[in-house]
Amino acid sequence: MPKKELKKMKIDEITQYFMNKTTKQNMKIIRAIDYLIIENFEEFEKDLKYVIENKKEEEIKRAFESKIWKSKMMFSKADRVLVFNRINKIRDLGEILARKMLLYRVVFPDEQFKNDIKEILELLKTVLLDLASAVKSIGKDLEHSYEVSQKIKNEHLKLRNKAWELLSNLYNYEMDFLSRTFLYLKDLIEGIVFLADEAENFAGYLQFLATKYLIFE
C-alpha cells in the first residue's frame, strides 16, 4: 500500500491493516513449517525471508503514531496505543521465530513427530486467525471480541498441552542431547508456544477492554 493511502487511513483502519499484515506474516511462518515438514527447503526459506525482509511495518507504525498524537480521541486513546503495541509484539515474536528457523535445515525425526507438529500448527493457526477477528471487532462489537478471546484461551490451552507432550517425546528420542536437530526442534516448539502465549495474553487484554468499555443493563 502506498504511503499516501496509509496516511489517509483512520486509526482504526491502520490498526486493522497492521493486524492483517501481522496475521499474514504469521500464516507465512506456519506455511514455512509445513514446507519444512515435507523438506521443501526452497519454499520454506522463501516464506521466512518474506517475513524477515518485509519492512512495511515501520511505515505503518509511523503512520499510526502521527495519527494517534494528533487525534482528538479523549477516552480510548491510551488503549488503542496498547492494542497497536500488542500487535507489534506478536509481529516481533513471529520475526524472531522466523530468524531462528532460518539458522538450520532440520529433518524431522519421524512421521509421528511431523503429525504432532502439524496438529500444533493447526491450533496456532486457529489462535492467530481468531485473534485477528477479535482485534477487528473491538471498534464495532466488543462483545464478539470478548467471546472470540475466550475461544482463543481455550485453543491456547490445548496447544500448550500438546506442546508439553511433544517436548516430552523429544527428550525421549534416541539422539545426542546436544545435537543441532534436538536444539532446533526444541526452539521451534518453544517459539510456537511463545507466539501462542502472547496471543493468549493479547486475548486477555481484549477481554479486559470489553469489560472496561461495555455497560450491561
Partner 1 sequence: MELTSILIIILVIMGIALAFSIGANDETLSALVGANITKFKIALIIGGIATGAGMIFLSKEVAKTVGENILGEGINYTDFMLLAVLISSIIWLIIGSFAGIPLSSTHSTIGSIFGVLIVYSLSQGGVNPSTVLNYEKLSSLVISWFLSPLFGFLFTYLFFKILSKFFLSHLKGMNQIEKSERNFSWLLLISVIFAEVWVGANSAECIGLFWGLKDKGSLTIEDYYFFVVICGIFVFLGIFTAGRYVIKNLASQMTDARPSEGFIIQISSSIILMVCTLLSLPISHSHVIVFCILGLNAGQKREIDYRGLGKMAIYWVLTFFIAGILGGMIYMGFLSVSLI
- List of residues contacting partner 1 (CB under 8 A): 12, 72-76, 78-80, 137-143, 209, 212-217
Distance in Å, CB of 60 to partner 1, minimum: 19
Among residues 171 and 213, whose Cβ is nearest to partner 1?
213
Q: What is the DSSP string of 113-147?
A: HHHHHHHHHHHHHHHHHHHHHHHHHTTT-HHHHHH
**Residue 199 buriedness (CB in 10 A; 0-12 / 13-18 / 19+):** buried
Among residues 178 and 215, whose Cβ is nearest to partner 1?
215
Among residues 20 and 54, whose Cβ is nearest to partner 1?
20
Burial 105-120 (b: 16+ CB within 10 A, else e): ebebbeeebeebbeeb
Distance in Å, CB of 20 to partner 1, minimum: 18
Q: Are the C-beta atoms of residues 160 and 193 closer than 8 Å to each other? A: yes
Distance in Å, CB of 110 to partner 1, minimum: 48
Among residues 31 and 80, whose Cβ is nearest to partner 1?
80
CA distance 27 to 217: 40
Distance in Å, CB of 137 to partner 1, minimum: 7
Four-point Cα dihedral 35, 41, 47, 50, nearest 10: 170
Distance in Å, CB of 73 to partner 1, minimum: 6
